[in-house]
Copies of this chain bind each other. A is one copy, B any other.
Amino acid sequence: MQIDTLTIVGVGLIGGSVGLAARSRQVVRRIIGVDRHAGVLERAVQNGSLDEGSLDLAAATAAADLVVVSTPVDQIAAQVVAAADSCRPGTLVTDAGSTKAAIVREVANHMPPGVSFVGSHPLAGSEKNGPDHATAYLFLDRVIVVTPGENADELAVNRVCAFWRALGGRVQLMDADAHDRAMALTSHLPHLVASALAGILPAELHMLTATGFRDMTRLAAGQPALWRAILQSNQEAVLGALDRLDGQVERFREALLAGDANELERLLWQGQKVRNTLPP
């Protein structure tokens, strides 16, 4: 895969890492970044994520062959449509948003002729933010979900898949709604729970936490505004996932109340079995 100009809209951890990975794997000739913050663009040019930064979305996308929109999830659809308006025919637009159905729906019917949008979600990230934490290896061996949607241009889908593979990712095609339901269980619910567990800890117990509590609350360090938008954009599926968790917690509670050692161990075995069969 060889791309001439890649434009990254929103140069944070993900956007910066797309730049570094594309450069280190020689996938692109030129990388332009667009952000609202000039300081972010400067740092991203300095650390090699970008060749040049721009505050002007239209100018930066006019020259693009591929546009990756990696802004917060509630801004992606609008940025995709705005970027597409400035793109030449033949340009491909994708994103890196944590939810897909709302974005695919909002973007549909707003793309100019010859410009294609194919949604993506790299299952990679960190509780850290900003291009200073970007790494060329963020996508290596990570699953990248690509959600073609109905009426997808097959060539465009193939090019998006090839791009993520060129960055080291393992591409999985999925329906956008199925993706969002899956992420509610594998990502959004865990984030909500991490935040709730952290939020109820009284200050006087901070010194009594160990590695278990740290692990269980690492996600809570994520940016609240980003995660508020993710949870809201997947409201229904997150509520459904919460109900499933409530049901399982209720089983634990009843077993504890009843002193039912067998049922408690069965529930713990059920969790251990899943945990021990997760991919690395």
Which residue numbers of A lie inside 8 Å of B, CB to CB?
123-126, 142-143, 145, 172, 182-183, 185-187, 189-203, 205-222, 224-225, 227-228, 231-232, 235, 238-239, 242, 244-249, 252-253, 256-257, 259, 261, 264-265, 267-272, 274-279
Query: Could you tell me if B261 and A232 are in contact, using CB atoms closer than 8 angstroms?
Result: yes
Query: Could you tell me if B272 and A259 are in contact, using CB atoms closer than 8 angstroms?
Result: no
Name the contact of A123 in the complex, choosing from B145, B210, B227 (C-beta under 8 A). B210
User: What residue of chain B has the Cβ atom nearest to residue A201's Cβ?
Assistant: B274
User: What residue of chain B has the Cβ atom nearest to residue A277's Cβ?
Assistant: B206
CA of A135 to CA of B45 in the docked complex: distance in angstroms? 44
A75 vs chain B, min Cβ distance (A)? 14
Name the contact of A201 in the complex, choosing from B124, B186, B192 (C-beta under 8 A). B186
A183 vs chain B, min Cβ distance (A)? 7
User: What residue of chain B has the Cβ atom nearest to residue A210's Cβ?
Assistant: B123
Query: Could you tell me if B186 and A217 are in contact, using CB atoms closer than 8 angstroms?
Result: no
Query: Could you tell me if A271 and B228 are in contact, using CB atoms closer than 8 angstroms?
Result: no
CA of A261 to CA of B226 in the docked complex: distance in angstroms? 11
